[in-house]
Amino acid sequence: MGVLTKGFAYLIVILDWYSRKVLSWRVSNIMDISFCLEALEEAIARYGTHEIFNTDQGSQFTSDAFTGKLKEHNIRISMDGKGSWRDNIFVERLCRSVKYEEVYLKVYETVTEARRSIGIYLNFYNRERPHSSLDGIPPNQFYYNNLSPIQFLQQRGFGQFSIYAL
């Protein structure tokens, strides 16, 4: 996704559809499954299991390791069909924002620099960037304002829950 002085960087984002909150993310210079699994495992550890995981049909997402991790947590898998861009529209919109508001404005010298800078942007996106679809409030505020007291406690380690789609 990002432009480096030498090579490319790849970004995976686990996004809550309802609130548009970025639950976890990773940047890597290698398009393999390990950084995708790390992002998935972090999202589950921090926010619990969700009902559905939607993704495209990239090899990292169709691998036995990735789909196995979803099945292990009883998360239903939804994969876009060929040409079904609408299935993953929320992540596509986020990637567009990341590109036009961060990546295309910079050239990164290293993957570490890209990771740091994109992390700052995603923090801004979650905490400060207003969203018209959320009545002008940032994803974090919308996400936490719409958790029930039980869900709030469950997210802090008092049990598992299942809400909204990733």
CATH topology of domain 2-155: Nucleotidyltransferase; domain 5 (3.30.420)
Q: Which of 1-5, 13-17, 62-66 has the lowest mean pLDDT?
A: 1-5
The pLDDT mean for the chain works out to 81
Rg (CA), the chain: 16
- Over residues 82-106, the pLDDT tens digits come to 655 566 778 888 889 999 999 989 8
Give yes or no for residue 80 having a pLDDT over 70.
Answer: no
The rounded distance, in Å, linking the Cα atoms of 40 and 62 is 14
User: Which of 138, 143, 117 minimizes the C-alpha distance to 128?
Assistant: 138
